[in-house]
Amino acid sequence: MSDEVVTTVWHNGDLLDQADVRLSPFDHGLLTGDGVFETLKVTGGRVFAVRRHYERLLSSATGLGLRAGVPSEDELRRAMAEVVAANDVAEGRVRVTITGGPSPLGSDRGHAEPTVLVAATSMNPWPPTSDVVVVPWPRNERGALAGLKTISYGENVVALAYAREQGAGEALFPNTAGNLCEGTGTNVFAVFAGRLVTPPLASGCLAGVTRALVLETTDAVEEDIPLDTLLTADEAFLTSTTRDIQPIRAIDGKVLPSAPGPVTTEAMAAFTTLSAQDLDP
């Protein structure tokens, strides 16, 4: 999957050609990964589920101590609309990134204003199904960043490269308790004897927007999924802002009985109906 080249971005209140954007080499996001972000789906040239994403952005920024740097919801809505229109994005994604701004070398933040960036790109569709592998590196469900959507994505980069080396499209993390946590950019649902289950937030997974919508539109329950039971699932699927609901074909090389199965198909239909009815559910 690849994105088209972005030409215009929103930077600290100004709509600029990307060539004219000047980021400090001392930006704390670049130096330490000090920042938060949201990726939102663009459908029909409009941004989906802005309210939910904005609420999560506030939550992540609060957890990282960047709440004061978050623009108002109205300002971000305008910024996203301007960037989507300027780049002529009909179907794709828009990303909002907020960093600690220019800072001294080291972990301490400086006193400069945070950096705020909004960019948008068109996207090619995801494949109809995905193979996944479980990586050997656990998420720390009790860590300072657990459940926050930060730009500290080094673990995800390594995990996804591990998955690609094995011919898979996504990597799944366990947590320190030996239960399923999440993917590198996804939440995970599994079906056992007709029951649709997803790990609880206490597992350390991100409170995904699509995850929440699936919980609200299906009979899914939040429940720990031990890794040794994951391979016994009858069906499983990934959820994310850009994938919506993507059936899992195989886990660690084991092909599941069906992809999509009946429970997954029902969940996909419910989500499609919701998306068609309400851009800001």
This model's pTM is above 0.85: yes
pLDDT range class, residue 1, cuts 50, 70, 90 = very low
Output DSSP code: residue 18: G
Distance between CA 213 and CA 278 in Å, rounded?
12
CATH topology of domain 130-277: D-amino Acid Aminotransferase; Chain A, domain 2 (3.20.10)
Q: Position of tokens 């998420």?
A: 139
Rounded to 5 degrees, φ, ψ at 253 are: 85, -10
Q: Position of tokens 């997803």?
A: 198
Taking alpha carbons only, the member of 8, 40, 35 closest to residue 97 is 35
Q: What is the pLDDT of residue 219?
A: 97
**Could you tell me where in the chain the CATH 3.20.10.10 domains are found?**
130-277
Q: What is the pLDDT of residue 4?
A: 57
List pLDDT tens digits, range 127-147: 999 999 999 999 999 999 999
Distance between CA 175 and CA 237 in Å, rounded?
19
Q: What is the pLDDT of residue 7?
A: 86
pLDDT range class, residue 210, cuts 50, 70, 90 = very high
Residue 3 has pLDDT above 90, yes or no: no
Distance between CA 212 and CA 237 in Å, rounded?
14
Taking alpha carbons only, the member of 185, 190, 220, 229 closest to residue 205 is 185
List pLDDT tens digits, range 5-55: 568 999 999 999 999 999 999 999 999 999 999 999 999 999 999 999 999
**Could you tell me where in the chain the CATH 3.30.470.10 domains are found?**
8-122
Distance between CA 166 and CA 251 in Å, rounded?
11
Q: Which helix (H) or strand (E) holds 228?
A: helix 227-230
Residue 165 has pLDDT above 50, yes or no: yes
Cα dihedral value 42, 46, 51, 52, nearest 10: -20
Q: For the residues 244-266, what does the mean pLDDT come to?
A: 97
Contact 83, 10 (CB under 8 A): yes
CATH topology of domain 8-122: D-amino Acid Aminotransferase; Chain A, domain 1 (3.30.470)
Distance between CA 247 and CA 190 in Å, rounded?
10
Q: For the residues 90-110, what does the mean pLDDT come to?
A: 96
Q: For the residues 85-112, what does the mean pLDDT come to?
A: 95
